[in-house]
Amino acid sequence: MTNPAPLTEIWRGPIVESLHLGHAVICDTKGDIVESWGNPEAVVYPRSSAKMIQALPLVESGAADAHGLTSEHLALACASHQAGAIHTDRVTAWLADLGLNDDDLRCGSQMPQDRAAFNDMICNEKSPCQVHNGCSGKHAGFLTLAQHLGGGPEYVEIDHPVQKACLEAFESVTGESSPGHGIDGCAAPNFLTTMRGMARAMGWFAGAVEGVDARQSAAVRLWQAMIAHPELVAGEKRACTELMRACSEPVALKTGAEGYFVGIAPTRGLGIALKIADGTTRGANCTIAALLIRLGLLDPSHPSTRRFCNAPILNRRKEEVGVMKPVSDLL
């Protein structure tokens, strides 16, 4: 099958009102496809779902240890955070430890998604800084690596040593030569790969063994940091955070813009990649939850699961009028 497959349905009353199509691939540690929906060879941008790959050079180069980075730093390097105080305070302190400040970031400013931080800015007529960008942790990691490698300040340029290291790691773990790149919302290059390539990369993370080599050791430290600090990877009420907490076994989850989502299930030796064709977050959230249920990693009745999968649709009077659920054969 080469076209996107139906993955998530939005029911209102007796009919399907909206339908989210997409691609999903589950790979084992060898990169073999276990199951797939849609087109495993579809070439797409993984967007922020690739952050743990982009963080590999930070750890395997020795930069993380040289700068005393903790598991919290590594979780933030993989994060698309919502700029709560727990995120911005840590990134600001990280930059200070590097002898840098907000002006050294190249991610651009963004209004916080965290409600308290957002309200504080609106009520006090403040403007967001670059540290409020959901990718500021990744960029702090880039700056750490840039210092370690002796690179210049424009670390998002495609020919900078940081981005060269990211591309090498990306092509290595996806097992594919990237056909090109686009510029992400945070100004960093985002490399293209197939759905299978991204699922293969997540399967590789799931099968990485600490001590085998520097790259595998780095992979283990990164997924362990994500699982240890789910609140830093995204934030309260976000699918990454809520579903990582709800899983019955350790699973690292990471969303990406335009309906992308990945999962690393180390106890099962499986990697997951999915892309909703219309780019909607709700479709991606529902589909990743459904796949975790399918694999026996998530209880379908868990309150966090029900926020994203088989989730009731309410009208303005809080009456249930529909449901968002995966297509029947996905479960």
Domain ranges for the chain, please list them.
5-330
DSSP letter string, 214-238: HHHHHHHHHHHHHHH-HHHHS-TT-
Answer whether 278's CB lies under 8 Å from 20's CB: yes
Query: What is the rounded CA–CA span in Å between residue 284 and residue 272?
Result: 12
Query: What is the rounded CA–CA span in Å between residue 211 and residue 209?
Result: 6
Over residues 155-197, the pLDDT tens digits come to 999 999 999 999 999 999 999 999 999 999 999 999 999 999 9
What are the tokens at 320?
């249930």
Residue ranges of the chain whose pLDDT lies below 70: 1
In sequence order, what are the residues at sequence separation of 6 or more whose Cβ sits closer than 8 angstroms to the Cβ of residue 72?
90, 225, 229, 232
Residue ranges in the chain assigned as alpha helix (H): 51-54, 56-60, 63-66, 71-77, 85-97, 115-123, 136-149, 161-174, 195-207, 214-228, 230-233, 239-246, 281-294, 303-308
pLDDT of 2: 74
pLDDT of 1: 47
Tell me phi and psi for residue 252, to 5 degrees. Answer: -95, 130
The radius of gyration computed from the CA coordinates of the chain, to the nearest angstrom, equals 19
* Domain 5-330: assigned CATH number: 3.40.710
Cα–Cα separations (whole angstroms), residue 95 to 53, 61, 116, 137, 235: 21, 19, 23, 10, 21
pLDDT of 331: 83
DSSP letter string, 256-293: ETTTEEEEEETTTTEEEEEEETT--HHHHHHHHHHHHH
Pairing relationship of beta strands 260-265 and 270-276 according to DSSP bridges:
antiparallel
pLDDT of 107: 98
Over residues 125-166, the pLDDT tens digits come to 999 999 999 999 999 999 999 999 999 999 999 999 999 999
Of the candidates 67, 57, 279, the one whose C-alpha atom is nearest the C-alpha of residue 170 is 57
